[in-house]
Structure 1
């Protein structure tokens, strides 16, 4: 920790919870540093005013509490959904995509405040430390990052409680014992990990789920919604234009009420271990189904298939913390180019955990009744042409087969 002794002012990513409150006091007491706190409202659902008051009570030099919901959905979530990004086939990257925005503001506030460093509360075992720090270094190569979980001597829940009591940090009653699991949440999703969820053979208890009804408890009658897209982004819901965050929150409400968006995943962390998590992404699960549906009639086959080939690499970059890397930006440019004509409306049926596409239409549609009809197609497609097409594509297969026959 010797290299931190000259740090005079730190901008801390602050949630107002016990861990980051202990970090705030640790920075003050161990480094003798002034601490500026930054609390981002990304739609996590917590009341943010208590975080402000707690930071002020604990002697923070400055306190930033910012509503970033519109920026989060518009500039981070929507670009990611244009790619239909899924990590390891199922994870909609709800935690991953929030970190670059938080890091961006930490770096900006550090510049505004003349701070020497930024700090975060991510542990040394997880992905978030990588995401926070790679993002910060990409935006300011000279930024100093303090990660107390890698530097301090506190190793257990008991150590944290003792430190909090010693420094008169308020400890809620529900924080004195071991938490049954840890939770991270924002407007895109909630994730739960650890403790009762560590055995991947055991079904998660129902109280893990915070954003969705169980599919069994969802209504017996289906809900029909219509989403309108322009350039690959949703712009209206059920005929009503909405801002990005307003529209996404409405999708979250529909998803919650219909038991949509639960996944139980064992994922491969970037730091090398496997981790079991329970994720809820109600609005995102609806949106990705709708986006793929509108692409199905507006994207050319070659563009659509290339997008699907690029998607796993794009998703991995976000998961691993490389949002601000040149390769992610290159892929984003290609993805955004593909979305120029992705516009129109998609109707979906939401029912007991299921998202079912029931209709899609677009003025830019490439779907042609004249080409696919089983009725008289009046010369739009000459079926005799298929014979030569098949012969040419079969040539190498026939050559191989003849060799095998010997």
Structure 2
């Protein structure tokens, strides 16, 4: 794109070193007005310093928004209804935050008359794809500036030099290489890069921020109850909570007992493998509890159909297709199955584990009068003869025909 075409750009701005450098670089390279957008999605950091730094760099339009409730209600909870796990284990904590940030970037661009949006994702990772697929899905004619794909500031030394030249404050710990990069929100914290790049090397235990190590967790288990209505968690231990408050409560409970650590080598959308270490205490508890709630409220074929489409659904989120028609279609199917996922699940938290120890529902499909090993009057065991013979018919015919 011609640099003269850009008059105003909305930057996803954290206030950190990289996005502060991007802010100045946009001003210098595109000679444009920059609008900053900083989202509070539960990363646990004070955001007002981002405002102060943006003001110091001459920014007039500064947007700092608390999106925690929207994040959990409209993004995390729909994903949890699907029991989504990327490659069987990853709860998609980073992936699910990107469409929300991308959506707000577009909305602010439209509200402020901006020509373009910009982000700090590198050209090697998944986030560039997630931000930009979201942007193009919502506003097809939006322009996107991805500095990491344009500039020559391709080393930490060059970034520091640029910051010093332009009087951008550099935190002391940024003068040397950080041991890893970190991304945090209300669902999880991810750690990757640097010291974690060798998949054989165990991460240092002092890296973790949300969870104690299972070895240091309490020696006494803790029992909790989670109530679901229509597939979504609404209460913990009988206390009704908003979506964000509920996930915050489960994070504290899970973190206390060392629940939710994951060390994973995953397949990035761009083609390479990467090693990531994750903490998802509340999300892990919620995932386990939701599956337990479904176990007594979903019809067998309904549950198996859901399990069959889950890998595709999780892959769509991981790859950035939250606003694609196929994800929306799968969401409609998933949400249809959730109407009766209502009841209470009891779990035991102990030494890194969240174990289901009880579940009940006013619309449970589990019938003790049918499954009992004692004498009953509702099930005729003789009926199994015909059931088995009919299911065996094609097997018998195949054997007879082929020997």
| TM class by smaller structure | over 0.9
Per-residue deviation at 1:208? Answer: 2.4
Q: Which moved more, 1:390-399 or 1:19-28?
A: 390-399
- The reply on whether 1:244 has 2:216 as its aligned counterpart is no
Q: Which residue of 1 aligns with 2:192?
A: 193
In structure 2, what is the Cα distance between the partners aligned to 1:33 and 1:60? 11
In structure 1, what is the Cα distance between the partners aligned to 2:363 and 2:355? 22
Q: Which residue of 1 aligns with 2:26?
A: 27
| Matched ranges for 1:65-84 at <5 A | 65-84=64-83
Per-residue deviation at 1:403? Answer: 4.3
Per-residue deviation at 1:278? Answer: 0.1
In structure 1, what is the Cα distance between the partners aligned to 2:137 and 2:300? 35
Deviations 1:376-405 (A, max 9, x none): 111x1110111111111112222333345x
Deviations 1:316-364 (A, max 9, x none): 0000000001110000001001000110000000001001001000000
- The reply on whether 1:321 has 2:320 as its aligned counterpart is yes
For residue 390 of structure 1, the aligned residue among 388, 391, 397 is: 388
| Matched ranges for 1:26-175 at <5 A | 26-175=25-174
Give the TM-score, by structure 1 length. 0.98
Q: Provide the secondary structure at the position in 1 that maps to 2:5.
A: coil
Q: Which runs of 5+ in 2 are unaligned?
A: none
Per-residue deviation at 1:8? Answer: 1.1
Q: Provide the secondary structure at the position in 2 that maps to 1:184.
A: strand
Q: Provide the secondary structure at the position in 2 that maps to 1:234.
A: strand
In structure 2, what is the Cα distance between the partners aligned to 1:234 and 1:138? 30
Per-residue deviation at 1:117? Answer: 0.4
In structure 1, what is the Cα distance between the partners aligned to 2:316 and 2:2? 31
Deviations 1:246-286 (A, max 9, x none): 01100000011000000000000000000000011000000
Q: Which residue of 2 aligns with 1:269?
A: 268
How many residue pairs get aligned? The number is: 403
Q: Which residue of 1 aligns with 2:289?
A: 290
Q: Which moved more, 1:286-295 or 1:28-37?
A: 28-37
In structure 1, what is the Cα distance between the partners aligned to 2:337 and 2:328? 14
Q: Which residue of 1 aligns with 2:177?
A: 178
Deviations 1:295-320 (A, max 9, x none): 00000001000000010000000000
In structure 1, what is the Cα distance between the partners aligned to 2:273 and 2:2? 33
Runs of 4+ in 1 over 4 A off after TM superposition: none
Q: Provide the secondary structure at the position in 2 that maps to 1:97.
A: helix
Q: Which runs of 5+ in 1 are unaligned?
A: none
In structure 2, what is the Cα distance between the partners aligned to 1:173 and 1:372? 65
In structure 2, what is the Cα distance between the partners aligned to 1:222 and 1:332? 36
Deviations 1:86-119 (A, max 9, x none): 0000000000000000011000001111111000
Cα RMSD between the aligned structures? 0.8
In structure 2, what is the Cα distance between the partners aligned to 1:305 and 1:65? 42
In structure 2, what is the Cα distance between the partners aligned to 1:5 and 1:220? 64
In structure 2, what is the Cα distance between the partners aligned to 1:4 and 1:339? 49
Deviations 1:131-159 (A, max 9, x none): 00000000000111100000111110010
- The reply on whether 1:12 has 2:27 as its aligned counterpart is no
In structure 2, what is the Cα distance between the partners aligned to 1:271 and 1:4? 27
Give the TM-score, by structure 2 length. 0.99
In structure 1, what is the Cα distance between the partners aligned to 2:47 and 2:306? 39
Per-residue deviation at 1:205? Answer: 1.4
